[in-house]
Structure 1
C-alpha cells in the first residue's frame, strides 16, 4: 500500500465511523488514468494506450440488510445521498457526483446481481475536470465495493468496465467510450495497456524503468457532458455511415483519401484524426516496447497536431504547455494533450533526468488564462481496481 493509499484509506475509514457509527467492513480502490496516445478513438472501436495512475478513489463500505444505499463524499461539504436500489432512479440536480453512484448501482441491480444496500464513504485525489477520468475511477471503485461486499465472483474486470460505461452513457448522459473504465479495471503496475476497444483485448506494454510520466494540469476546467464531446462522436458516426462501416476503426488511410471527398470538410477532418490516430497507437506501443522514446515523442507530437488541427479539441493554454515541455524534452520523449479536450491536462513521457528542468520551465513560463501556474503530477503506472483492506 502506498503513502497515497494510506492517506485516502484513513480519510474514508474515519468518515465511515463518524457518519455511520461503525467500522467499514472493506476498503477498496480504483485508479484514475492518463492516456499516453489514442484520443477519441475508443468510441470509434479503435486502439488506445493508457496507463492507470497512482491517483484514484477509495471507498469505505459496509453492507446493509435492506435495499437502502447511504453514501457520502468526503471531498464535498454535502449531506449523505440516500436512495433505494428497487426504486425508480432519479437524477440529482444539486450535485453531479450522486448521479454516478445512482447510475452504477441502478444498473448493477437491474442486471440481476444479488446485492442489497450499503453504507458508503467515498474520497479520492483524481483532479476534477482534468481529463484524468475521476468519473471512471469512482464508477469502478463502487463496483469493486459491491463485488467485494456481496461476493460477486462472476463480475470480472472487463464486465465491471462495461457496466460502468453503460451507466455513464445511459444514466449520466455522456457517450463516453470504454477506455476510461477498462484501464481503471485492468491497469497493471509498471505498464501501459494497449486496448482494442472493439474486442476489449488488453495487452500490457512495459514502461522503461527510467521514464517519468509527468502530467501538467492547465487549470482550464473541462466537462464532457457539457462540452462538444457528444458532437464529435456524432460527427464520427456520420463519417462511418458515409463509408458504410460500423465504425471508423474499419476505414484505412487509403480509403479515407480515395472516398472521403463526399464528406463535409469538417467531418472529413474529424475522420482523418481518428483514422491516423489509430495507426499512431499501434506504432507507439511498438516504440514503447522497444524503449524508443525518440519515435514515441514524434508520434505524440503528431497526435497533438491532429487533435489541434483536425479534431479541434485543444485550447491555447494546452498548446502552450505542450510547447514548453517539448522544448525541454527535445528528442528524448514527447508531450501531448490527454483526455477529452477543451482544457484539462498534458501528458509527457521523458527521462527522469529531465524532470527537474521540465518542472522549472513550467513554473517560470506557464500561467493559465486566470494567471494560475500549472499543477504538476509525477505519476506511476499502477494496478487497476481492487481490495485495500
Structure 2
C-alpha cells in the first residue's frame, strides 16, 4: 500500500507556502524560510530524478548541541543537550518489497534487504550498517520494517560535534516508525535503537546522549544512572526569549590521529572507578573519591584524578544549568556553562592535544571569544574536544561583530548562528 502525497503536488504546496508553518517550527528563522523551501524542492526533484514521480513522505531529524555534561555520559552521568535547526531530511516512498534503497547527497547509493538483519563484517564503518542495525533494533522490539526508496540530504556538519551520525540514525528510525508502525515508536526507543546500531553494527562505541538529544528535541536533561532506562525530561524553556544567539565556530582543526586522545578520557575515568572495585564513576560516591585522592594519584596518576574531578563537578553543574533555565535566570545559566567550559579546559583537558601543543585551534577560538564578549556572553569547548568546534552564547547585539571576527580568523562560513529546535525526529508530511 502506497502512502503520502505525489511529489508534483508536494512541490506545488511548498511553492504556495503551505508548509511554512511547519518549516517555521523546525527552523525558527523566518529569513531562512525561502532557503528551506528551495532546499526541500531541490530534494524532491532529486528524488524524482532517481526514482520517478511517486507518492512520498518527508522526514526530518536534527543535529544536537551539548550544553552541559562534557564527557559525562560514558560514565552514566548527567547531560543537558538540545536539538538545533540544522537537520537531515529524507524524501521517502514506501515500497512493496523488503529492500531499502537510499541515495544520500554526496555519497554512493546503496540497498539493504531488511529481511536479512545479521551484522555484516564488510559493513563496519559504513552507512549501510546503520540502516541494517536500526532495522534489527525495530524487529527485536516487535516492530515492523520494510522497503523504501529515499533521497537524503543533510546540513548537519560532519565532524563538527553536532552529531551528524546520530541525526542519520534517528532519521532512519523515524522513517521505519512512520512508514510501518503508524509513528508509534517513542523518541527514547528510537534513540536507543540508534545507539545499538552504531555500537553493534557500525562498530563505534558511543554513549546515548547524541541520539537522545536528536530524537527527543528541544532542551533535554538526561540522567544516565540507569543506562537501559535513562531519566529523560524536556526542559521547558524558550531560548529565543533571552536575547542571545547560539553560535558554533568550526575552528578547522583536524581530528586525525586523535583516537587515542578521545579513548583516554573514559579509560582514565574507569581507572579511578576500578580503584574502588567499580566499572564506572557513577558507581563511586563523590565523597569516597575526594577522601581517596592521595592514594588514587599515586596509583593512577594526576590526569586521571583531574578528569574524575571534572566528572563529579560537571554533574552538579548540569543540575544547576537546568534549574537556572527553568527559573528563567539566564545569567546564572551562562555562568554555569562557562564554569563547565573552564573545567573541561583545566581538569578534563580536552581543548588541545598534548602531542602537538603548537596546534591549539580551540584555545585560540576561546581566547578570542573572551576578548570579544568581555563577560557579556560565554564560550566553551563543544563536543568531544581536542579539535573541531567551540560553542558560544552571544548577545544579539554582538552577533554580527562576533561572527565577523571569528570568520576573519577561521575562514568564511566558519561561524554558524543556530537556534534550539523544539522538535526531534519527526514526520513532516
TM-score (norm 1): 0.89
Match of 1:215 in 2: 248
**Is the counterpart of residue 194 in structure 1 residue 221 in structure 2?**
yes
CA contact (8 A) 1:37 1:338 kept: no
Match of 1:85 in 2: 114
Q: Among 3, 12, 17, which residue is 2:48 paired with?
A: 17
CA contact (8 A) 2:112 2:128 kept: no
In 1: Cα distance, 2:256 partner to 2:59 partner: 26
The aligned runs of 1:333-344 (5 Å cut-off) are 333-344=377-388
**Is the counterpart of residue 376 in structure 1 residue 405 in structure 2?**
no
Over 3 Å counting, the alpha-carbon distance change for 1:218 and 1:94 in structure 2 is same
Match of 2:343 in 1: 306
Worse-matched range after superposition: 51-60 or 170-179: 170-179
Over 3 Å counting, the alpha-carbon distance change for 1:293 and 1:144 in structure 2 is same
In 2: Cα distance, 1:287 partner to 1:320 partner: 29
Match of 2:356 in 1: none
In structure 1, runs of 5+ residues without a counterpart are: none
Offset at 1:94?
A: 10
Residues 318-361 of structure 1, C-alpha deviation per residue, up to 9 Å, x if partnerless?
Answer: 11111211222222331101111221211111221121221232
In 2: Cα distance, 1:121 partner to 1:363 partner: 32
**Is the counterpart of residue 284 in structure 1 residue 284 in structure 2?**
no
- Kindly name which structure, 1 or 2, has the bigger radius of gyration based on alpha carbons: 2
Offset at 1:294?
A: 3.7
CA contact (8 A) 2:235 2:326 kept: no
Worse-matched range after superposition: 90-99 or 256-265: 90-99
Over 3 Å counting, the alpha-carbon distance change for 1:85 and 1:27 in structure 2 is same
Residues 181-228 of structure 1, C-alpha deviation per residue, up to 9 Å, x if partnerless?
Answer: 11111113xxx2222223332131412511211111111243799454
Offset at 1:256?
A: 2.1
**Is the counterpart of residue 184 in structure 1 residue 214 in structure 2?**
yes
In 2: Cα distance, 1:218 partner to 1:374 partner: 11
Match of 2:91 in 1: 60
SS of the residue aligned with 1:201?
A: strand
Over 3 Å counting, the alpha-carbon distance change for 1:95 and 1:43 in structure 2 is closer
Worse-matched range after superposition: 240-249 or 117-126: 240-249
CA contact (8 A) 2:124 2:201 kept: no
SS of the residue aligned with 2:385?
A: coil
SS of the residue aligned with 1:323?
A: helix
CA contact (8 A) 1:68 1:85 kept: yes
In 1: Cα distance, 2:158 partner to 2:255 partner: 9
CA contact (8 A) 1:16 1:24 kept: no
TM-score (norm 2): 0.81
In 2: Cα distance, 1:332 partner to 1:65 partner: 57
In 2: Cα distance, 1:310 partner to 1:217 partner: 23
In 2: Cα distance, 1:247 partner to 1:277 partner: 15
